[in-house]
Structure 1
Amino acid sequence: MKKRTISLVANLMLVASIALSGCASGNGSNSDKQSNTGSNENASTTDNAAAEVVTIRTTLPPGELSEDQIKEFESQYPNINVELVPADETKLMAMIAAGSAPDVIRISGVQELPTYVTRGLALNLDEYFQKSELIKEDDLLPVANVFKYKGSWYGLMKDWSPDQTLYINKKIFEAAGVPIPDPKTPLTYSELLDITQKLTKIENGKVIIEGMDGDTLFSMTNVQMQLQQIGKSLWSDDMKKANINNDDVKNVLNRINQFVQAKSVYSPINPAPNWTGGTFIDGQLAIAQFGYWYTGILRSDSKTKDHLDDYMMLPAPVVDGGTRYSPVTGGTGAIILKQSEHPDEAFTFLEWYMAGKPADDRAKSGWGVPIFKSKMSLVPQQTNFDKQTFEVLNDEIQNGQTDTVLEFNPYLNASAVNGLIDKLITPIYFGKDTPENALPELEKQIQALIEEGMDIAGVE
């Protein structure tokens, strides 16, 4: 997790507050665009004959939008140029406050969309969707609703995954004498703790093979997933109150700390040597917790692509006694800035990228699951590995409630919350604090952030 100071958090919240009044000028000044709410009667995705050539700016990174793709788009739509704008969160917030933010902004639908909508920064796309030739609501998988807020569309995922699924290295299981789990039955966290301890190999005090990566650690998304599996939530129904200082959250934290203390997962007291996806590929990690998109890496990496039968996908784990739930915890996609001076052209680009040829290419590669039912047949199903992972994917879609959106508070900034977790929860792993002391303070400080977010959004 990225460490954030409280002062930086405060500055980000301040910048977002300024944005509501300061970014009305969009990328310049155009008063008749300032009140655009997505109900523009001239919305069109087929008018390529506009006299003016406009530039659409986007925060999509080069790894997701290549120069060749940009050339392909600009050839098809000669009146629209596309410019990539590198921007981390701090830079993006500053650009929004200055009225110079990009038109198409890459965000996490689960963790960030509600905040962008409640702060008046995301364009309502309902009428654009209704007129789109490529985006048909009856062709969208229910999980696409991650980019809906209170019944309206504000963006689309570029692709998706049930993000808590597991990948195992069967060779490590066999060497440790651990039976290969049934891919049709989710492991409970108790079973997972037992298995990871048996898989972890330590020599002379050094971890040679780690049982599992660190995605079992305490985070808002992971805690909320486990709570939803038992019918509980971190938030009140109206999202105005944090429910953190209670036995349910304490049980989640204690369960996670069991993994940490056993050193059967990477953690602050037992850090990963590098990115855990690479550690898994190098044969130093028995279980990796990633979404379906990780199949694309295993298919393409020189160390794994020639022996894919050594790997296997498993459904997301479930709390003992809980209900199976395998959600999208990120949902990477994009929105259009509400203050954009060129919303029609921005939607033309968004539509092409999310629903056109780039979406077909992503589906064929296995780098994520398409959000369109009609594109599911493009997902790789040739090899035994393809068929096994696709079977688990379909089982998660059918039985894992992937269409139920993970609850994330719309008044919170995800980075701010992660900063507080770093500050208040990490000491527990080192034995320097206790859940009884840390959870009340975490609830208090997150509640303060919720109230700040409500003030910014004008909610009483």
Structure 2
Amino acid sequence: MRSHAGAPPSRRRFLALSAGGAVAGAAALNGCALQVSTGVSGSGETVTVMAKADDISPELIKQAQKDIGVKINTVLYSPSKLIAMMTNGNPPDLVRGVGAVDAPYFAARGVMENLDPYFAKSGVLKLDDLDPVNDLWRYDGHTQGKGPRYGMAKDFSQDSMFWYNTALFDDAGVDYPPELEPVTYDEWLDKAKRLTRRKNGQTTVFGGSYNGVLTPNLLASLAVAAGGSIFSDDFSRVDFTTPEARRALGWYIDYCRTKVGPSIIQPDPNVWDGPTFQANRLAMSNSGYWLGGLINADEKLAPLSRLAPAPVFEGGPRISPCQAGTGFWIPRKSHNKDAAWRVFEWFFGEAPAKARAAGGWGIPTLKSLRSLMPAQEDYQKRVLKVQEAELKHYSVIAFTPYATADSLYALFNQIAPAAMNGDISVDTLARRLNSAMNEQLKRGKEQVG
């Protein structure tokens, strides 16, 4: 153990995170993991949960008190607030995170509790019941998807899949995608062009939306679908000039240039796909299974809506990743880990997990809960058939531990509009992205050490 491991890291060492970079001074955060006891039920304890408002409702907080006897205090999720609480040596007991991008970032900095000892003793969350999507929350010090578990996803979607509105396809005379076979990305874009409707210079129907969860996650997934990666083998650099990454970037810029769907140069006034799809103004939505939670609640829309497999690049592998995997993790310096774990078990494996599964807002992350997914109506059975067939194409797309997805997203949004508007070439964009993002990654790697 390093001699300074017990001291809380200085605020200055954390500032890189709030700037969208890396948590600095990993050495100050590493050290011997605290021994877990897993012997405390948690009943009568108070657990501080840092979450967004829709992660854990007031009703759920009351239910936790009733079901497991634990009082939950919530703190609104904020990276800067998290830094402050961790710096002051008083972190939350549970923190929300996006497994696809947050797990390697925080695990590499030694601030997350290794949950393997807890999983080993749990009667609720059994390892052989965990869906492979939970491997997003694993990190072995080099690569995401292997090694200790640092968190778990509450539910998930394969975020490269897309929904489509059959009525809008019929109106435009466009053939539906095959039910279980993927279209190519070029075919998807061609359909989107034919489905787009404009009137007096205004887009009245978007042909398709394809932005993923966040552009860096999307581009990472597209590059793997093209047979490569945007990252170097050690994740310390990006390279958008390789043939595969260039193909991924070029396709996405084509999507933005054609203005068949929302992008940063043509924002959706509704901000996200849900309301636009519901208003019959979006023919295809690159939202995975979870959008079914909204669709199922609309009696007119649900029978018209179908889910399709993730597209492929011609000649590329068939992959269908999860770009989010939102869930919770326990800070290594939490003062109340056993009670936090009891809330963790309850949230991911008991009443809240069962309710989420039945609502269609995502695929359950425990295989034993899949039978609760909505399958009463014929259209729900069709969606489930497509989704179940797609599960075998899931794989972890490893993300860099050296920068936050948000920081790379901010850089992309500064640099890419010129290419989307046709002012610079995709090759020029690739070089500019390499330059800006690699500077960010270099700083992050220095901070992790």
**TM-score, normalised to structure 1's length?**
0.87
May I ask how many residue pairs the two structures share in their alignment? 428
Matched, 1:334 2:325: no
Query: Structure 1 residue 18: deviation in Å?
Result: 6.1
Tell me what 1:417 maps to. 408
Q: Residues 32-65 of structure 1: CA distance to partner in whole angstroms, max 9, x if unpaired? A: xx9662642x2235364xxxx5421112234231
Contact 1:15 1:97 in 2 (8 A): no
Q: 1:147 aligns with which of 133, 137, 141?
A: 137
* Range that drifts further, 266-275 or 334-343: 266-275
Query: Structure 1 residue 338: deviation in Å?
Result: 0.8
Contact 1:12 1:93 in 2 (8 A): no
Q: Residues 183-203 of structure 1: CA distance to partner in whole angstroms, max 9, x if unpaired? A: 111110111111111100111
Q: Which letter maps to 1:179?
A: D
Tell me what 1:96 maps to. 86
Q: Which letter maps to 1:343?
A: K
Tell me what 1:233 maps to. 229
Q: 1:116 aligns with which of 90, 98, 106?
A: 106
Identity %: 29
**Partners of 1:216 and 1:121 in 2: how far apart?**
28
Task: From the superposition, tell whether residues 291 and 128 of structure 1 become closer, same or farther in structure 2 (CA, over 3 Å).
Answer: same
Tell me what 1:125 maps to. 115
Tell me what 1:365 maps to. 359
* Gap regions ≥5 residues in structure 2: 1-14, 141-146
Tell me what 1:5 maps to. none
Matched, 1:441 2:425: no
Q: 2:215 aligns with which of 202, 215, 219?
A: 219
Contact 1:229 1:324 in 2 (8 A): yes
Provide the secondary structure at the position in 2 that maps to 1:172.
Answer: helix
**Partners of 2:151 and 2:334 in 1: how far apart?**
14
Tell me what 1:28 maps to. none
Tell me what 1:68 maps to. 59
Contact 1:9 1:416 in 2 (8 A): no
Q: 2:305 aligns with which of 311, 331, 339?
A: 311
Query: Structure 1 residue 222: deviation in Å?
Result: 1.6
Q: 2:23 aligns with which of 9, 16, 30?
A: 16
Tell me what 1:285 maps to. 282
Aligned pairs for 1:164-203 (under 5 A) are 164-203=160-199
Query: Structure 1 residue 242: deviation in Å?
Result: 2.3
Query: Structure 1 residue 68: deviation in Å?
Result: 2.2
**TM-score, normalised to structure 2's length?**
0.90
Q: Which letter maps to 2:249?
A: L
Task: From the superposition, tell whether residues 217 and 375 of structure 1 become closer, same or farther in structure 2 (CA, over 3 Å).
Answer: closer
Q: Which letter maps to 1:391?
A: K
Provide the secondary structure at the position in 1 that maps to 2:46.
Answer: strand
Provide the secondary structure at the position in 1 that maps to 2:23.
Answer: helix
Q: 2:68 aligns with which of 70, 77, 95?
A: 77
Provide the secondary structure at the position in 2 that maps to 1:207.
Answer: strand
**Partners of 1:233 and 1:110 in 2: how far apart?**
15
**Partners of 1:332 and 1:338 in 2: how far apart?**
19
Task: From the superposition, tell whether residues 249 and 330 of structure 1 become closer, same or farther in structure 2 (CA, over 3 Å).
Answer: same
Q: Residues 281-321 of structure 1: CA distance to partner in whole angstroms, max 9, x if unpaired? A: 00111111112111011112xxx324521111111111122
Matched, 1:452 2:436: no
Contact 1:12 1:90 in 2 (8 A): no
Contact 1:218 1:253 in 2 (8 A): no
**Partners of 1:250 and 1:88 in 2: how far apart?**
34
Query: Structure 1 residue 10: deviation in Å?
Result: 7.2
**Partners of 2:83 and 2:132 in 1: how far apart?**
31
Q: Which letter maps to 1:337?
A: P
Tell me what 2:423 maps to. 432
**Partners of 1:54 and 1:100 in 2: how far apart?**
16
**Partners of 1:328 and 1:98 in 2: how far apart?**
34
Provide the secondary structure at the position in 2 that maps to 1:313.
Answer: strand
**Partners of 1:439 and 1:427 in 2: how far apart?**
12
Provide the secondary structure at the position in 1 that maps to 2:100.
Answer: coil
Matched, 1:377 2:371: yes
**Partners of 1:441 and 1:366 in 2: how far apart?**
41
Query: Structure 1 residue 219: deviation in Å?
Result: 2.2
